[in-house]
Amino acid sequence: MLTTKEIFDRYQEVRSRFPAVNTTSKTLDIDSLLDISDDIDAFIFDAFGVLNVGETLIPEADIRLDQLRERGCAIRILTNAASYDRGGAIAKFERLGVRVKDDEIITSREATLQHIGDANWGVICADSDALIDLPASVIRLGYRAEDYDAVDKFLFLSTANWTTQNQELLVASMKRNSRPLLIGNADLAAPRDDGFSVEPGHFGHLIADLFPDQVQFFGKPFPEVYDLIESSLPGVQLERIAMCGDTLHTDILGAAARGWRTVLVTQDGLFAGHDTKVFSEQSGLFADWRLARI
């Protein structure tokens, strides 16, 4: 089982692949997002660790979103989850009890698929993923080495069925013939009900260690998802957008690199049970504001 320190340390190790950023040097503690709602026109929410932990809604997160809407603030959910298409994302939040409109959700999968061209793709995905938003020419990768060698490019969407043996098959195929690998979820890990799950970014960075020029990451902190958010908020000044997330290297770094304001949420996500000041000082990544829950 991964620990907070292991995840943080790995983010530090691969940080040279992230956008360059200078954050504020001091974080102000607040009690709720209502405290800063007069200064912010659009609140952007990470999902895991902020709105939900695994399949469990964080208490009153849905109420806070409604309250912010009532105050005239735009709401967007920006998730690195790539295991399901837009319909699946909307259905998930409906199951959690979060009232969300179609245009309020942006996923790293959407950003990834904008860069899918004509090719024979080898796809790493969940069995439940119908892949209806992908081109027709795809092979679901499993335990057949010949399938890995047969494709032109790789697309990594989910770790649901991914094992060490699968990773070894991918590495071996890349060594025989290195090809582009698109990582649809840049996260190393995500908070679940029973600990942290290992996400596609973890395996993607292992491949990037070996083939640095062949791997492209999508989702926070990489720019494509922020382009989608900003295009959905015409006329909103960047300094009046606030990203609310639980992870320094994805949520805070990525948003600060765009000129957004940032809110670190601490109680339920990556840093649950830890003093985030220690990690901010070590990484030099400070959010504008910090609170336990939104």
pTM score, two decimals? 0.96
Cα dist from 153 to 110, 119, 172, 179, whole Å: 18, 7, 14, 6
Cα dist from 140 to 83, 112, 196, whole Å: 13, 17, 25
pLDDT of residue 178: 97
Q: Collect the ranges in the chain with pLDDT lower than 70.
A: none
Residue keyed to tokens 């298409």: 85
The answer to whether 252 and 284 are in contact (CB under 8 A) is no
The answer to whether 201 and 185 are in contact (CB under 8 A) is yes
pLDDT of residue 87: 85
Provide the sign of the torsion angle of the four alpha carbons 145, 148, 149, 150, taken in this order.
positive
pLDDT of residue 150: 98
pLDDT of residue 99: 86
Instruction: Identify the H or E element spanning 182.
Output: strand 181-183
Residue keyed to tokens 């830890």: 274
pLDDT of residue 50: 96
pLDDT of residue 135: 80
pLDDT tens for each residue of 188-239: 999 888 889 999 999 999 999 999 999 999 999 999 999 999 999 999 999 9
d(CA 111, CA 131): 15
The answer to whether 50 and 80 are in contact (CB under 8 A) is no
AA letter at 243? M
The answer to whether 216 and 185 are in contact (CB under 8 A) is no
Residue 250's Cβ-side half-sphere holds a number of Cα atoms within 13 Å equal to 33
DSSP letters of 9-50?
HHHHHTGGGSPP----S--EE-S-GGGGTTT-SEEEE-SBTT
Closest alpha carbon to 118 in 132, 129, 134, 131: 134
The answer to whether 166 and 142 are in contact (CB under 8 A) is yes
